Amino acid sequence: MFGDMMGMMGKLKETQQKVEATKKRMDTVILNEKSSDGLLNVEITANRELKKIEISEELLNDKEQLEDYLIITLNKAIKKATEVNEAELAAVAKEGMPNIPGMDGLFK
């Protein structure tokens, strides 16, 4: 019983290290999101850090339109980054979790 517990603790520690490594790797995963007409382009990491915003000249003439574009495109980029982030972390966590009855539901 004690050996099992030690093995489980070791596995949890290993999983924790893998999660941390995955979080670091997410800084290098760049996602791109464009407005439907391509006038606004956003780059964001899977850790939801904005890296670049490119705004077409024609959007600079209309403040309200630019603001709308930024909100829509940034929200789509953040949503996409969140989905990638959560999927990656869930995969690492699920792979490393010992079989504890009732714990399955936590990582779905």
Q: How far is CA 70 from CA 4, 73, 83, in A?
A: 52, 5, 20
* pLDDT for residue 3: 63
Whichever domain contains 81, its CATH number is 3.30.1310.10
pTM for the full model? 0.76
pLDDT band at 86 (very low <50, low <70, confident <90, very high): very high
Residue at 50 is within a domain: yes
Per-residue pLDDT, 108 = 44
Per the domain annotation, does 45 fall within a domain? Answer: yes
The domain tally of the chain equals: 1
Q: Which range of residues forms the domain containing residue 49? A: 2-97
Q: According to the model, what pLDDT value does residue 9 have?
A: 78
Domain assignment of residue 102, yes or no = no
Using the structure block, give the residue that is written with the tokens 């996602």: 31
Residue 108: inside a domain, yes or no? Answer: no
